[in-house]
Structure 1
Amino acid sequence: MRLIKHPVLCNYYVTYRCNAKCGFCDIWEKPSPYVTLENVRENLLSLRQLGVKVVDFTGGEPLLHQQIDQFFALAKELKFITTLTSNALLYPKFAERLRGKVDMLHFSLDTADKEKHDTMRGVACFDFVMESITLAKSLGERPDILFTVFEDNKTDIQAVYEQICLPNDLMLILNPAFEYNQVGDQLSDETLDELEAWGRKKNVFLNQAFVTLRRDGGNHISEPVCKAASTTLVISPENELILPCYHLGEKSFPINGNLEAVYRSPEVQHQIATEGRLPACEGCTINCYMQPSFAVETSKYFWHSLPSTLKYNWKKGTWKQVFA
Structure 2
Amino acid sequence: MRLVSHPVLCNYYVTYRCNAACGFCDIWEKPSPYITLDNFRQNLKDLKRLGVKVIDFTGGEPLLHRQLDLLLKEAKDQGMITTVTSNGLLYPKYAHKLKGLIDMLHFSLDSPIREEHDASRKVKCFDKVMESIALARSLGERPDIIFTVFDSNIDQIQQLSEEICQPNDLVLILNPVFEYNGVGDSLTADALKRLTWWGKQKNVYLNDAFVQLRLDGGNKVNDPVCKAGSTTLVISPENKLVLPCYHLGLKEFEIEGRLHDLYHSEEVQKLVALEGKLPACEGCAINCYMQPSFAVEINRYWWKALPSTLKYSRIKGTWKRLLH
List per-residue Cα deviations over 1:80-125 (Å, max 9, x = no partner): 0000000000001110111000000000001110000000011100
Counterpart position of 2:8: 8
| Alignment-derived partner of residue 77 in structure 2 | 77
Query: 2:132 aligns to what?
Result: 132
Shift of 1:321: 0.2
- CA distance in structure 2 between the aligned counterparts of 1:32 and 1:164, rounded to whole angstroms: 34
1:249 paired residue number: 249
* Structure 1 residue 258: Cα displacement: 1.1
The equivalent of 2:234 in structure 1 is 234
One-letter identity of the residue aligned with 1:271: L
Distance 1:185 1:267 in 2: 34
Code of the aligned partner of 2:262: V
Q: Which residue of 2 aligns with 1:122?
A: 122
Query: Partner of 1:269 in structure 2?
Result: 269
- Taking the TM superposition and a 5 Å limit, the aligned residue runs for 1:152-163 are 152-163=152-163
Structure 1 partner of 2:91 = 91
The separation in 2 between residues aligned to 1:180 and 1:280, in whole angstroms, is 10
Match of 1:299, as an amino acid? Answer: N
**CA deviation string 1:256-290 (max 9, x = no partner):** 01110110110000110000000000000000100
Paired letter, 1:320: K
Q: What's the CA shift string for 1:196-215, capped at 9, x where partnerless?
A: 00000000000000000000
SS of equivalent residue, structure 1 residue 168: coil
Aligned residue type for 1:236:
S
Q: For structure 2, list consecutive stretches of 5 or more residues without a partner in the other structure.
A: none
1:309 aligns with 2:309: yes
SS in 2 for 1:2: coil
Question: What is the distance in 1 between the residues matched to 2:248 and 2:208?
Answer: 24
Measured in 2, the distance between the counterparts of 1:246 and 1:169 equals 33
In the alignment, which residue of structure 1 is the partner of 2:177? 177
Aligned equivalents of 1:322 and 1:110: distance in 2? Answer: 30
Alpha-carbon distance in structure 2 between the residues aligned to 1:44 and 1:159: 41
**Shift, 1:167, TM fit:** 0.7
Equivalence for 2:104: 104
Deviation at 1:170, TM superposition (A): 0.3
Q: Does 1:289 align with 2:273?
A: no
State the identity as a percent: 67
Q: Deviations over 1:153-205 (max 9, x none)?
A: 11111111000111111000000000001111110000000000000000000
Cα distance between partner residues in 2 of 1:72 and 1:93: 16
SS of 1:268's equivalent in the other structure is: helix
Distance, in Å, in 1 between the alignment partners of 2:90 and 2:261 is 36
The answer on 1:225 being equivalent to 2:228 is no
Other-structure match for 2:64: 64
* TM-score when normalising by structure 2: 1.00
Supply the distance in 2 between the matched residues of 1:93 and 1:80 (Cα, whole angstroms).
25
Unmatched tracts of structure 1, length 5 or more: none
TM-score norm. by structure 1 comes to 1.00
Give the distance between the partners of 1:268 and 1:299, measured in 2 at CA: 26
